[in-house]
Amino acid sequence: MIIFLLFKHLFSLRLITMFFLLHFIVLINVKDFALTQASMITPSCQKGYFPCGNLTKCLPRAFHCDGEDDCGNGADEENCGDTSGWATIFGTVHGNANSVALTQKCFLKQYPQCCDCKETELECVNGDLKSVPMISNNVTLLSLKKNKIHSLPDKVFIKYTKLKKIFLQRNCIRHISRKAFFGLYNLQILYLNHNRITTLRPGIFKDLHQLTWLILDDNPITRISQRLFTGLNSLFFLSMVNNYLEALPKQMCAQMPQLNWVDLEGNRIKYLTNSTFLSCNSLTVLFLPRNQIGFVPEKTFSSLKNLGELDLSGNMIMELSPHLFKDLKLLQKLNLSSNPLMYLHKNQFESLKQLQSLDLERIEIPNINTRMFQPMKNLSHMC
Ligand SMILES: *[C@@H]1O[C@H](CO)[C@@H](O)[C@H](O)[C@H]1NC(C)=O
Ligand SMILES: *[C@@H]1O[C@H](CO)[C@@H](O)[C@H](O)[C@H]1NC(C)=O
Ligand SMILES: *[C@@H]1O[C@H](CO)[C@@H](O)[C@H](O)[C@H]1NC(C)=O
Ligand SMILES: *[C@@H]1O[C@H](CO)[C@@H](O)[C@H](O)[C@H]1NC(C)=O
Ligand SMILES: *[C@@H]1O[C@H](CO)[C@@H](O)[C@H](O)[C@H]1NC(C)=O
């Protein structure tokens, strides 16, 4: 329940600084109001955290599907399919997941010696594997983290139709055939981060109707098309941090109606259009920091009625159109820090009635004006 308003290094003129300090007192009133009158509203989730169904509670990513109801409403254990997973796989010291590994039986008949099997889950971590090994058909979780896999050929998982989670991070995967993931109708979680993937062909995810998490961080992917996401009807979380994307598909969410959280930090995205997020009705968190976005058209965010957090920090935005944030009625957190903004319109933040955190650090704006903070000021008048 904290109001951030970060204006460090903002003004050189002492007079204006004084003015701002006065304004800050008003903001403290806003905070008091928030504590007493709006105690249901809490800040939206920080980086590395995910929302428990909605934005009222956040948990570290590793708590998702660890077999414990960490959210209190079961949201972190939804779409998991079974009661084990993340804690064991990531070695997180949490719950009692660490004590089970050696005591459980293995129900798989065939698997490489280097792997650890528990019931129908198989971990082959750091095993020098150069390809996806032969395993019994009834495997439900397959972790091939930190191996030496270079490519995923056609239908490489086709026999493993019960798979719910695949972990392929930290290999040397460069080539993925268009039919590599065919038949994975029950897959919910797919990790492909820290590989050498440059392209993903349209249709590659077409059977993954149950997929909720797709992690593609730290790959040199340069382009994605709208058709790449065909089939991802259930996708909730898409992460493509530190790739080489220069543009986004014409309509990013057209094939992903459930998309809730998108993290595109650290790409080379140069522009957004007024159709990029047109069908992203479910989006609650949109991270675009450390890109090269220069211009954001007026209607870019107008369909994001459920957006709770927007991060545009570290881009090249020089001007914001006056009504850019007009439809973001539920926005709680906005980060515009480290942009070469020259000007803020006087009604720039007017519609952001729910805003709790506004970061304008490392911005040099000559025309600062009280009216910009109208929504917060309004709140302080109410208490
Ligand atoms: C958020 O989730 C909590 C717990 O499930 C629920 O009580 C609350 O009504 C939800 N809020 C919204 C805005 O959906
Ligand atoms: C898995 O398949 C093997 C045959 O490959 C079978 O013996 C075993 O009972 C199966 N386990 C489960 C849990 O279905
Ligand atoms: C989107 O932008 C284009 C120009 O880039 C414009 O012609 C069109 O009217 C805009 N659409 C909406 C809905 O604002
Ligand atoms: C805003 O973004 C910057 C740079 O990405 C980050 O350092 C800062 O912590 C963010 N501010 C808030 C309030 O989250
Ligand atoms: C303050 O907000 C309330 C509710 O959102 C609205 O009814 C009222 O007109 C606003 N007052 C001002 C001065 O903007």
Q: Which of 328, 332, 324, 271 is nearest to 300 (CA)?
A: 324
> Which of 273, 274, 299 best tests ligand 3's pocket when mutated (most atoms within 8 Å of CB)?
274
What's residue 38's pLDDT?
27
pLDDT at 96 over 50: no
Contact of 250 with 272, CB cutoff 8 Å? no
What pTM did the predictor assign? 0.73
| 345 CA from centroid of ligand 3 (Å) | 21
Ligand nearest to the CA of 380: 5
Q: Is 42 in the pocket of ligand 1 (CB under 6 A)?
A: no
What's residue 333's pLDDT?
87
Q: Is 56 in the pocket of ligand 1 (CB under 6 A)?
A: yes
Q: Is 353 in the pocket of ligand 5 (CB under 6 A)?
A: yes
How far apart are the C-alpha atoms of 84 and 99, rounded to whole Å? 12
Residue type, 13: L
pLDDT band, residue 383 (cuts 50/70/90): very low
Contact of 51 with 61, CB cutoff 8 Å? no
Within 6 A (CB) of ligand 4 lie 4, 289, 313-314, 335, 337-338, 357, 359
pLDDT digits (tens, 9 = 90+) for 311-334: 999 999 999 999 999 999 989 889
Element (H, E) at 59: strand 58-60
How far apart are the C-alpha atoms of 290 and 315, rounded to whole Å? 6
Catalogue all structural domains in the chain, each as residue range(s) with its CATH number. Answer: 2-32 (no CATH), 33-75+85-96 (4.10.400.10), 116-223 (3.80.10.10), 245-383 (3.80.10.10)
β-strand 58-60 against 49-51: which pairing, if any?
A: antiparallel
Q: Is 136 in the pocket of ligand 2 (CB under 6 A)?
A: yes
What's residue 375's pLDDT?
54
| 56 CA from centroid of ligand 1 (Å) | 7
> Which of 241, 310, 337 best tests ligand 4's pocket when mutated (most atoms within 8 Å of CB)?
337
What's residue 363's pLDDT?
81
How far apart are the C-alpha atoms of 146 and 342, rounded to whole Å? 46
In sequence order, what are the residues at sequence separation of 6 or more whose Cβ sits closer than 8 angstroms to the Cβ of residue 113? Answer: none
